[in-house]
Amino acid sequence: MITLKLANQTVKLDQGELVSYAVNEYEYIHQKGSPGWGSSDTEMFPVIGPTVANNFKVRTPIGDAVQDQHGILRELAYELVEQSATTAIFQKKYTANTKVTNSKYPEKSSVNEVHWPYDFQFQKTIHLNNEGVEITFKIKAEEGMPFMFGYHPAFKTESSAIAIEVSASKSVTVSEIQEAGSRAYYVANNTTIVLKRKQPLEIKTEGFGQFMFWTEVGTMVCIEPITFYPYDTAQDKLSKGYDYMEKDVKIYKVYLKPNKN
């Protein structure tokens, strides 16, 4: 467990996973073991969403890949690259066509191994500053590699009546997000939302451009910035949601800013 501290803010990281963000001991992050989801955060890459209806195959320009829900990245372990009092940098590396054990098999999946036909390097930096938490994702891969990317953190809520403000004129409650079910609640063309808890949290993004929200309980909600919403597209058309590496590096950012009204 790694702990970052700055004034009244504390971040805790477990093998790269953001398991706690507290301000004056007020916790924002969903805790493992609590009802709703078994994790606190993860990353969805290089695909987002389910692939089961397409027999777990995903098309790429250089051949089919085998991917389970939300992609292969979550099956790789983070390596700690650098650490200071307020910053931690983690990294994952993947070599093209390496077969990786699928942790969802056999209980939740029929495919025991997944693979991707490109090399990539994925870096996650968590930095505490005076405004809150800045999370930076840096993806390195060859030019032309297709990908989707989404960040998948979970936040505590006091009840299903808690709302997420998606614009000055629109909010959605946790209860409404529950009703959306496994397809998640989609918010297009948006880079900033506010979780209206007792102590609100602003979530601002760069590079994503949209969100999806998901939960099955009233005491947590996943607020997921994404590059592509997969549930309005047939699974054999998932490749329509790809972005492509234009250079060798793509950078995405998420800012968690507490006490915004």
Residue-wise DSSP of 191-260: SEEEE-SSS-EEEEEES--EEEEE-SSSSEEEEEEES--GGGS-GGGGGGG-EE-SSSEEEEEEEEEES-
Confidence of residue 261 (pLDDT cuts 50, 70, 90): very low
Query: Residues 127-136: pLDDT tens digits?
Result: 999 999 999 9
Q: What is the mean pLDDT of the chain?
A: 94
Backbone φ and ψ for 235, nearest 5 degrees, come out as -60, -30
Query: Residues 162-175: pLDDT tens digits?
Result: 999 999 999 999 99
Confidence of residue 231 (pLDDT cuts 50, 70, 90): confident
- Helices and strands in the chain: count of H runs, count of E runs: 1, 24
Integer Cα distance of 92 and 103 in angstroms? 17
- Residue 235 has a pLDDT of 62
Query: Residues 103-138: pLDDT tens digits?
Result: 988 988 889 999 999 999 999 999 999 999 999 999
Measuring CA to CA, how many Å separate 10 from each of 27, 88, 149, 173, 175?
9, 13, 27, 27, 29
Count Cβ neighbours within 10 Å for each residue of 182-204 and write b for 16 or more, e otherwise. eebbbbeebeebbbbbeebbbbb
Confidence of residue 243 (pLDDT cuts 50, 70, 90): very high
- Residue 67 has a pLDDT of 94
Q: What are the structural domains of the chain?
A: 2-258 (2.70.98.10)
Q: What is the pTM of this model?
A: 0.95
Query: Residues 131-162: pLDDT tens digits?
Result: 999 999 999 999 999 999 999 999 999 999 99
- In this structure, the number of other CB atoms found within 10 A of the CB of residue 229 comes to 21
